[in-house]
Each structure stands twice: as C-alpha cells, then as structure tokens.
Amino acid sequence: MEQRLSTVTCQTTARLSAPKGPPLPLRAELHYRVADPYAVRLTLGPSTGPVTTWTFARELLAEGLRRPVGPGDVMVVPRYCHHPHSICIVLSNLDGTALIELAAAQVDAFLQQTAALVPFGTESDHLDVDGAITALMGRSH
C-alpha cells in the first residue's frame, strides 16, 4: 500500500525588521496541508513563548518570489532591501505592521515540495466539498 504525504513543513529562522536597530531573529515555520490546498501557514514566535500564525494563499507566496504582490493584509516582496537572496512578507492588522524576511531559496524549496503534493492549478481536485458541507450541516458521514 502506498502512503502519500499530506503535509509539508519548513522550519527556519526569519528576521523581523525592527524600526530602530538591526533585524531580530525569529523562529518561523511554513506549513502546507493537502486538506487545505490553497493555503499556507506561517507561524512565527520566539523559541519559547506564544506564537502567531498567519494563513494566506500559496499562490501569493509563489508569485512573491518573482514580483511584489498582495495589496491586503499580507504582501510578499522579492529581493527585500536589495537582498537578492531574500523575500519580505509584510503582515498587517489593526495593531500594526511586521516585516518578516525569509531566505528565498528555502521558500522556493518549500513551494516545490507543496507542488509535488498538489500541482499549482489542481487545488480544487483536492478539496473535500462533501465533507465541508457535512461539517457545515452538523452531521457526520
């Protein structure tokens, strides 16, 4: 029996741009689940303590490797501050804005692994629409 992977995780260190002073290192994890094929999750936090998770479109992250994208709460900018080997993910909410710098090669490798599970453009083939409707209706299979 062939067992297929259903998640991809990339653990790395991000740099949080501080208004004054050098960027601060921050633990980061990119996570992808086949069960939610359009989305990636970025979890950020110190090595100990509370974490924050942002969920946004996988396509946004992929496009952001090539050009600035995302006019909303999440923006992705390649070659952040003229660093050719990084991208910046700009996260905004009512409390403010955070600039998170990640290594572009790690993000690209993560996206290639997600595409091996769910090729771009085939996400809808992996949605469990019946399961979602059942969950919304409050019934079990």
CATH numbers and ranges of domains, the chain:
7-137 (2.30.31.20)
Over residues 3-25, mean pLDDT: 85
| Percentage of the chain lying above the pLDDT 90 cut | 58
Q: Check: CB of residue 26 under 8 Å from CB of residue 44.
A: yes
Confidence band (pLDDT; 50, 70, 90) for 139? low
pLDDT of 2 reads: 40
pLDDT of 78 reads: 92
Q: Residue 59: pLDDT above 90?
A: yes
Per-residue pLDDT tens over the stretch 88-129: 999 998 988 889 999 999 999 999 999 999 888 777 777 676
Q: What is the pTM of this model?
A: 0.83
pLDDT of 81 reads: 64
Residue with tokens 């259903």: 6
Query: Which structure tokens are listed for 97?
Result: 């804005």
Q: Residue 8: pLDDT above 70?
A: yes
The residue type of 48 is T
